[in-house]
Amino acid sequence: MADNNEAGGAPPVARWMSPGAQCILSSVPVADVAAQMASKRHSCVVVIDDGRPVGLVSERDLVRELAAGKTGATAGDIMSAPLISIEEDRGIDTASQLMSERQIRRLVVVDDEGGVSGVVTQTDMMRAHIDQIERYQRSLEAQVAERTAELEATVEQLEALSRTDPLTGIGNRRAMEEAMAIAHQRSSRYKRTYSVILLDVDRFKAYNDTYGHPRGDRALRDIAGEVTGSIRVIDKAFRYGGEEILVLLPETGADGALAVAERIRRSVASRAIEHRSASQGVLTISAGIATSVPRPDGSIPGVLELLGAADDSLYQAKENGRNRIGPVGNPD
């Protein structure tokens, strides 16, 4: 059988042919041919000899013969010959090209043994080409949809990266500013309380001087991991700058913020990252806290006021000996 690759991967012509073509022997009288075609409503019949197709009798052939008033003619006398046929595994493009070149309206489709499989017409080819176009359009639409989804995923990844600190893997300053603005808006609109923790690695410059910046970077990543492991899913950690990390705690008052800050402090200390220049012999953190509580007049502290209060609280923790939590800052 012919290789369908020469049809460029197009659907085989057998898919579109009319199967079970009516076949007659070449010796059948024209009158009988006409009667059979009329009874079965076929527009043509395939003439065979020794089981092989040798010609085609169409309605036009019959009309022409009957109009001539001839009698005694057989199918073999009026058939169109030689027969133009196509193997059933050839593509529809090949069939269309053959019809165009031979200027014919029908093709007899044969199997790999040369027997008749069916007949394919120009109308069949038209339906096949329409289907091929529709399938191509569906394939193209699917490719476009897939590519669009890939691009959207890439954009989302890039967007996430633009808000992530590359060293620690937590949110960067831009992400922090956006999250703080949203928290402030919600607090202002719904009169909800939220808190922030501003923590700083104790004597980190001395650590870098002693162990080098690569180990300092690794220590920051480890501490960031301890922070994210100590907070809730709704809480967010951001690299505020240098060795400072800010934690945003929605729906959290002063007592809750103190508890979280203490949990982070203990988690970092228990990590036991060696620091020979520190009095404790390990890396520790100090933290400041501030809480946004609606004032009696309904107003709430601004973001900068809240950050300033947290920074003041952190300063007091440093002044009081480090490795501790400062008093809750007052944004007023």
Give the tens place of pLDDT for each residue, 31-70. 888 888 888 888 888 988 887 888 888 888 888 887 777 6
Q: Is the pLDDT of residue 7 over 60?
A: no
Q: Is the pLDDT of residue 293 over 90?
A: no
Taking CA atoms, 234 is separated from 96, 171, 247, 310, in Å, by 65, 13, 11, 20
Q: Which of 243, 251, 274, 305 is catalytic?
A: 243
Q: How confident is the model at residue 244 (pLDDT cuts 50, 70, 90)?
A: very high
Instruction: Supply 303's token pair.
Output: 């973001």
Mean pLDDT across the stretch 157-164? Answer: 81
Q: How confident is the model at residue 8 (pLDDT cuts 50, 70, 90)?
A: very low
Catalytic residue flag (residue 243): yes
Report d(CA 287, CA 79) in Å as an integer. 101
Give the tens place of pLDDT for each residue, 133-149. 888 899 999 999 999 88
pTM flag (> 0.85): no
Q: How confident is the model at residue 10 (pLDDT cuts 50, 70, 90)?
A: low
> What structural domains and CATH numbers belong to the chain?
4-128 (3.10.580.10), 173-329 (3.30.70.270)
State residue 36 phi and psi, 5-degree precision.
-65, -40
Mean pLDDT across the stretch 177-204? Answer: 94
> With DSSP H G I counted as helix, E B as strand and the rest as coil, what are the percentages for the chain, rounded to 5?
50, 25, 30
Q: What is the pLDDT of residue 71?
A: 66
Q: What is the pLDDT of residue 3?
A: 44
Q: What is the pLDDT of residue 70?
A: 66
Which of 73, 87, 78 has its CA nearest to residue 56?
78
Say if residues 259 and 239 touch (Cβ distance below 8 Å): no
In this predicted model, which residue has the larger pLDDT, 218 or 43? 218
Task: Give the range among 61-65, 68-72, 163-167, 259-263 with minimum mean pLDDT.
Answer: 68-72
Which of 267, 274, 161, 183 has its CA nearest to residue 224?
267
